[in-house]
Structures are given as structure tokens and as C-alpha cells.
Structure 1
Amino acid sequence: MRKYYQLVLFILSIVSLVCFLIYKHEYDRLRNVLEVLNVFGSIVTDGPQAITGNPEICHNGSLEYIPDFWHQYSDLEVYSAFKTVNEKGWSINTLAIVTGNLSLLFKQISCALISEDVSDDKFEGTIEWKRIETDNASMAYTIVCNVPEMIGNSYLLSLYNSKTPSEILNVPLHLGTAHLKEKATSLCIVSNNPYWHVGDLSDFIQYYTLLGADSFYLYHRGIGDQVISALKELTRSFNNITVHLTTWNLPSQSTSVPFLDFALISQDCAWRHEAKRGPSVTVQFGHFLSLPNGWGIKDFLSKTKGHSTEPSFEVRIPLQAICANSSEIEASPIRRARMINPKKQETRSGLLRWTEAPNHPSNPETATLGSTAVKLLTLEHCRTTTSRKKSDEQAVRNFQAVAQNIPRLRNYG
């Protein structure tokens, strides 16, 4: 009997030892994981690095960072470069701001493509200059580089001076896609203000989402963490929209010429949108498009362009400031400096420009505004702290009908 008890105790000891070893192994694994997380943080983060590191997020409706910026070269300032299909096969398009002696510049500047498969070689092309906007000091052009043939895959556009071939500017090339993607309505947003208020930006995107836009290109001069966090929360709430953050380090020549930026951004954004089906629309930040009841932005564009077959259009729309019913306590010092008198409503003119993809952007045809109820509205704070009587204007009532779905905009107008 005693031997039986000893055998049972021996078996229990063996089982306890095995369990202890298993426990120790799992404990060490858990401890190692916790030490790694303590040093490096969570594997899935909410920061911009996590967004840019996962390409699937960009396609499912989220935030995308576009790395293009303006390059200085001689009397040129050059932005992005795109490979696009045309009737001749394909060509390379880029934006440029030109100053100085144009005739001399046109004679000296040449273009070529550089292949990633052929080292230290370039394939020269013929260059075309197409003016899209001008002012007294500088002119905005698209540069078209036509290369008859090449070996391998192109990945850089090269611009160089024929008199000094060692001075070269290489611009990374967006290759695009041969197949059209899903339908989308892109809103290309131009801003003269270097700083964005988080609430204003969120309201603006939500408003145009309700009008039917689902892809937003924000051309900015620099963006902070608060704005990025707000945009991330917005794209989580509206999981069918994509926001593209595009750096727009303004060319020195055009800093005082807003309409040059409008034309350049409209052209650049149409190229970025080109692989999709649907319009790319350029609008000034803070200009809310008020449409007749039941209209979306696609309805407005189709009715405004009429039966024209042109790919690009622009229309002048009455621009009116309306009162945002906010108290002086709610308004920041910067906003209080811009307060309007609600009794004085000056009607000006705002611009809307669009290109119907998959067509290439061109010099826009002037479209005719077919409805007097259509306006562009800007929201300004009033000088009085008392609530303003609701407007009887149809355009303002139409704006209010859409804005009722956005908490911060419910009392505006």
C-alpha cells in the first residue's frame, strides 16, 4: 500500500513539473511581448505612419499622402509629372510657372525620359508648351514631352538646358493605369489661407459629401497633427470617402496671384483623378455650393454644361456671405476681425471648374448657369451676438436643408 502512495505522489510530481514548465514558457513569451510593446508601442497605431504604410487603407476610403512638391530650375518652377494616354500613344505632362525671357527659354529647354531598366541612358523627346493662365509677372504652362520610343519602364521626367546639359532637373513620374477605376466625383480644394481651422475643414468636407463628392484633394502649405487626427476621424465616420493630402509649396512668383493657383491645381487634380470615371471639380475652400432641392453635384454639372462635348468647363457663380449665428465668445480673435454686418450682403462672383474624366483637361469652355437658385455661399461671423432672422432667399434655404445634417452648420444662414 505504501508503494502505491509513493507511485501516485511520483506521478503527481511529474505532472506538476510539466505544468510548471509550460506555464514558465508561456509566461516568458508574454513578458517578451509586453517588453517590446513597452519600448515601441502598439503594433497598430493611429499615427500617419500607419496610414501611409498600409496601401489597402487608401483604397477603402481613408487618408493618402501625396509627396509631390515644386522644384526650382532656371526660370522655371516645376511641379508633378504624369504619363497620360493620347491619340499619338502617350505623352508626359507636367505643370510649370515661367518667368524671364520666354523665347530664349523655349529654345534652350529640352526633355527626356529616364528608364529604370537602362542605366545612365535617357530617351529624348520633343517638348510642347501650352499656356493655361498668365499675369503680369509670370505665366502658368503645361509642358508636354512626347517621346517616340524607349526601352524599359519610364520613371523620371528629365528637363535640361541644351546650352548646359549638366544642369538637369529630374521629376518623379506618375505612371497612371491603363484601366479605368471605379466611378468617383473628386473635389479639388484650393485655399489661400495657410492655416486651416479643424472644424471648418470637417464641415466643408461633410457638406460636399452630402452633395455627392467622395474623393477630396486638399492642396495645403503644411498640415498639423490636429487636422490629420480630425481627417482620420472623418474618414472613419464616412468610410466611403478618400482624402488626399497634397503639398502645395507655392511658387515664389505666384504667391500674390490666387487665380494662377486655381488654374494650376485644377489641371494637376484632373490628372490625378484621370483613372476614375466621373468629374473632378475645383472649388475655393470655404465656398459652399448651394443647389436647388434634390440636386447633387453631378446633376448640377450635367445641367450646366448643356449638350457640349468639351471635356473641361468653368462657370461663374454668384458668391454671397451669409451670417453664421455665433456669439463673440464662440468666435476666435482672428474670426472676429472678419465679422460682417448682416445687413450688408455684397454679391460677388466665385469660380467653379471641372473636367469630365477619363478625358484630358484642356482650356475650359465657359458654361452657362441655368438656375438663379444656385449660389456659392461663404460663412462669416456677425458683428451682433443676437441670432439673425432666417433668410427668405431660396439659395440660403437650400443650403440650410443640406446643412441640417451637419451639427455645426445647423444654425448657419
Structure 2
Amino acid sequence: MKKYHQLILLIFSIISLVLFLIYRHEYNRLHYVLEVFNFFGQPCNFSDLQTTDFILRQQDWGPQPMWQETDNGYVYSAFLTGKMKIKAIALPRDSNKLPKNCYIWLEDKKKPISGKFSYSKIVDGGGSSLVPHFYYCSAEIIDNTPFAVSFTSVVKKEVNMKKILLTDVTGSRNLNINTTICVLPSNFSKKKFVEFFSFHRLLGVDSFIFYNKDIPYRLSKLMINLSNRLDVQLAFLPWNFPKIDIFITRVIIENDCLLRTHSRSNFVAILEYNEYIVPTISYSINDIVKDLKDNVYKLSLPVQKFCINNANVNKPLALQNFEVATDARFNSVHFVFNNVNNNAVDTNNLDRTKASIHKYVKCENNIKTTTDFSMNKFSTDFIRSTLVQLLIHNQL
């Protein structure tokens, strides 16, 4: 009889455990549904955001940049940095054959005025034959407002000059954006895009600029229309770079991003989709940058190379892979830029006990590794974030 009592208790225990697991599963499903309803309203509203003929107004980062072919090279973007001072990002085909002339176009004039041209190298090229330059054009201060600039090697008729529209970064503005992340272009993956965005939004990043090579328009439109609900600023800038060069791409986008966000965003970081800013002991970007002094211009973060060994589609990649390669070749650093104090020149180097960049890559076989579980403290909020849940349930 005692054996039957034990059997009955065992059966009840198993049934209770099964019912508990079923309840927990259904609770999590209900929690997710309620989160989605609370976030989007009724399900039809989500569909409307994808098919609407309207796009919400976002932060104005100036005219959309575009590579334009000019005499002996290309110009990507140009910025009005003073009353009649212009700074453009260019990529000449030959550094020994640069433009000799520049012209500034004014809003109420049919003909441009001639300016004084000068230039400087942004970097030496990092071994590349392509060397990005800054082109400068300046003129006497006048009352009219410039809106475009042209660079030529020879004097041309006005109709043959290519205009590069100007982004005005002069004057003081209300710094309503705390942190902007500018994202380098790469081969598109919806999973990488959603997880990168969701994690950094979780950290408190309130502005993203995606340099867009192949992000589907449907997704970019949807994200912009969701931005009010996400309480974030989003921008997608075209990237039609005429060459394939990772080093040059990073240099140009870094400088375009810093000029574009000047006096508009307190802090700026330039990252790839597989790079995550991960605080070691804190939970937000603000905790990382709050102790910066006024004379600090750059915050240098160590890079850790995480090996991708697991790729379950139903879980964020960063919550599956914790093996860190002990590879000295990846001891490079990324920067978070402080754009508030123009006179700041110092760099503050952080160690891994405070924060680091987690870079998720394929590793060679038999590579030596250590483990780093610092990402785990974000796991609950990361997995439950609305866009990640929509992605997991194939609803995005």
C-alpha cells in the first residue's frame, strides 16, 4: 500500500510539473502578446505602419549625402562650418591632381561666387591607393546664405558645375540628443539589424544613423514610423561608395558622422552591426560617459573578439556566444566622441572592468579562448524587447 502512495505522489508531482511548465509557457506567450498590444495598439495598426503613404518626421541631419563624381574623383558630403567656410569629404583618384577652384552657390543668386580652395589629407590611406581628403572652400563674408559648393580643376560654365548641397553645422543648438550611434554599412541581415538596434536602445542610446547599402526600404520605413513609440531618432543615409575598401569606408563615415552630429549630439560612436558597447558593471551608456571631464574628446574602449559557435535563430546571437579569443591582433580600440567641447583633445582609455566592445566574428579552429558572461545581465530585457520578440515570432 505504501508503494502505491509513493506512486500516486510521483504521478501527481509529474502532472504538477507538466502543468507548471504549460502555465509558464502560456504566461510568457500572454506576456509577449500584451507587450505587443501595449506597444503597437491593435494588430492592424502594425500593418498600417508598413503600408501607410506617410513617414513620420525625424531629426533633420541635413541633405542626404551621395557620392558624386567630380573632376578627378568623388565628393560625398559638404558642411557649412562658418559664415562662408565649407568643409567637404572627398576621395580623389590621384592625390597629385586635386581641384584648383571652388565655387559657392548662394540662395538668391543665379551665378556662384569664386572661393579660395585648400585641402588636407584625412588619413594617409592605411596602405590603400585611395586617400580621403578634406576639401575646403572659403570666401569673404557676405549677407547671403550659401546652399551648395562646386569643385573643379579648370574654370567651367556654371551649367557644367556639379553642386554638392551643404549641411549647416554652424551656431549653437539645443543638445536634445544624448548619444548617437552611426552604423557602418554591411551585408544586410534582419536578425543582425534588429538585435544590434534593440540592445543599444536598451542601453539608452536615443539616436541612430544607419549608412544604408542594402537595408530593405520596407524595414527602414517601418522603423522610422515606429520611432515615436520607441522614443528614438532614426535616420537612413545612402551609401553608394564607388570602391570596396573597409578601411576607407570607416574613415569617411566616421568623419561624416562627426561633422553631421556636431553640436547636435553629446556623444557619438561609430560601430558595425557585429559590434556591441557592453558596460561591465553598469547598465547604460550614461554610466560609461558620466565621469568624462571637459577636456576629454575621445573615450577609447577595448575590443574583445567573441567567437560565433552557436547561431540559434530563436535567441540573440550575443546571448549564445561567450568565448573570447585571446588574439593580440584584435587589440584595436573604438571611440565614443564627445562633441560638446571643441577645445577638448584628450583621450580617456577605459579598461575591460568598466566597458568593452564585443565584436562577434567567426574564429579559426583550435583558437585559445576565455569566457566572458558580462552580456548575461541584459538577457531578460534583451530577449523580451519588442522587436526581438517580433523577430523570433516571424512577425517583422
**TM over 0.5, shorter chain:** yes
Classify 1:299/1:90 alpha carbon distance in 2 versus 1 (closer, same or farther; 3 Å).
farther
Q: 1:267 Cα shift?
A: 1.1
Aligned-pair CA distance for 1:81: 1.2
Q: Summarize the Cα distance change of 1:326–1:233 in structure 2 as closer, same or farther, 3 Å threshold.
A: farther
Residue of structure 2 aligned with 1:249, choices 202, 218, 240 = 240
Cα drift, residue 262 of structure 1? 1.2
- The question of 1:375 aligning with 2:372 is answered no
Q: Specify the alignment match of 1:3 in structure 2.
A: none
User: Which deviates more from structure 2 when the two are superposed, residues 292-301 or residues 391-400?
Assistant: 391-400
Shift of 1:179: 3.8
Structure 2 match to 1:393 = 372
Distance 2:61 2:144 in 1: 28
Q: Does 1:50 align with 2:54?
A: yes
The CA deviation string for residues 186-234 of structure 1, in whole angstroms up to 9 with x for no partner, is 111113x23x222321221121112221110000113313422552465
Which whole-Å CA distance do the structure 2 matches of 1:368 and 1:45 have between them? 43
Distance 2:136 2:343 in 1: 13
Cα deviations by residue, 1:34-74 (Å, 9 ceiling, x for unpaired): xxxxxxxxxx97557511xx6xx315xxx989632101112
Secondary structure of 2:281 counterpart = coil
Q: Which residue of 1 aligns with 2:251?
A: 263
The one-letter amino acid of 1:91's match is K
Residue of structure 1 equivalent to 2:295: 309
SS at match of 2:58: helix
Contact 2:101 2:155 in 1 (8 A): no
How far apart are the structure 2 equivalents of 1:231 and 1:307? 35
Distance 1:206-1:145 versus aligned 2 partners, 3 A rule:
same
Q: CA deviation at 1:287?
A: 0.4
**What is the distance in 1 between the residues matched to 2:309 and 2:53?**
37
Aligned partner (choices 219, 228, 232) of residue 227 of structure 1: 219
Which of 262, 268, 276 in structure 2 is aligned with 1:280?
Answer: 268
Structure 1 residues 343 and 228, CA gap change in structure 2 (3 angstroms): closer
1:243 is displaced (CA, Å) by: 0.7
Partner residue of 1:198? 190
Amino acid of the residue matched to residue 126 of structure 1? K
Q: Indicate which of 160, 165, 173 corresponds to 1:172.
A: 165
Q: Distance in 1 between matches of 2:279 and 2:339?
A: 23
* Whole-angstrom CA distance in 2 between matches of 1:219 and 1:268: 10
Residue number in structure 2 paired with 1:33: none
**Which residue pairs with 1:127 in the alignment?**
117
- Select the residue among 93, 100, 106 that pairs with 1:99: 93
| TM-score calculated relative to the size of structure 1 | 0.67
Are residues 1:319 and 2:298 paired?
A: no
Matches within 5 A, 1:324-363: 325-327=310-312, 345=325, 347=327, 348-349=330-331, 351-358=333-340
Give 1:81's aligned residue: 78
Q: Secondary structure at the match of 2:162?
A: strand
Distance 1:188 1:341, change over 3 A: closer
Q: What residue identity is the alignment partner of 2:149?
A: L
Change (3 A) 1:323 1:65: farther
Which residue of 166, 182, 186 corresponds with 2:180?
186
Contact 2:114 2:139 in 1 (8 A): yes
Distance 1:114 1:226, change over 3 A: closer
Q: Do the aligned partners of residues 202 and 230 (structure 1) sit closer, same or farther apart at CA in structure 2, a change above 3 Å counting?
A: farther
Does structure 1 conserve the Cα–Cα contact (< 8 Å) formed by 2:210 and 2:236?
yes
Q: In 2 relative to 1, CA 406–322 (structure 1 residues): closer, same or farther, beyond 3 Å?
A: farther
Query: Letter of the aligned partner of 1:309 in structure 2?
Result: N
Cα deviations across residues 318-367 of structure 1 (Å, max 9, x unaligned)?
2222557544x879xxx9xxxx99878454345423432245699x8654
> Is this contact kept in 1: 2:150–2:162, CA < 8 A?
yes
Identity in percent: 15
Structure 1 residue runs of 5 or longer lacking an equivalent are 1-43, 383-390
Q: Distance in 1 between matches of 2:190 and 2:261?
A: 25
Contact 1:278 1:356 in 2 (8 A): yes
Q: 2:105 aligns with which of 76, 101, 114?
A: 114
Partners of 1:261 and 1:361 lie apart in 2 by: 27
Relative to structure 1, the CA distance from residue 205 to residue 67 in structure 2 (aligned partners, 3 Å threshold; closer, same or farther) is: same
1:266 shift after superposition: 1.3
Is contact 1:84-1:176 (8 Å) kept?
A: yes
Separation in 2, partners of 1:404, 1:45: 23
TM-score, structure 2 normalization: 0.69
- Kindly tell me the number of residue pairs found equivalent between the two proteins: 327
Q: Which of these residues, 64, 68, 85, is aligned with residue 67 of structure 1?
A: 64
Measure the CA separation in 1 of the matches of 2:303 and 2:251.
Answer: 19
Structure 2 counterpart of 1:137, from 129, 136, 144: 129
Q: Cα distance, 1:278 vs. partner?
A: 0.6
Q: Residue type matched to 1:369 in 2?
A: L
CA shift in 2, pair 1:73/1:403, >3 Å: same
Q: Give the distance between the partners of 1:79 and 1:209, measured in 2 at CA.
A: 29
> Residue 300 of structure 1 aligns with which residue?
288
Structure 2 segments unaligned to the other structure (5+ residues): 1-47, 364-369, 390-396
The answer on whether the counterparts of 2:305 and 2:324 sit within 8 Å (CA) in structure 1 is no
Q: Is the Cα–Cα contact under 8 Å of residues 310 and 321 in structure 2 kept in the other structure?
A: no
Q: Whole-Å Cα distance in 2 between the matches of residues 361 and 250 of structure 1? A: 32
Select the structure of larger CA radius of gyration: 1
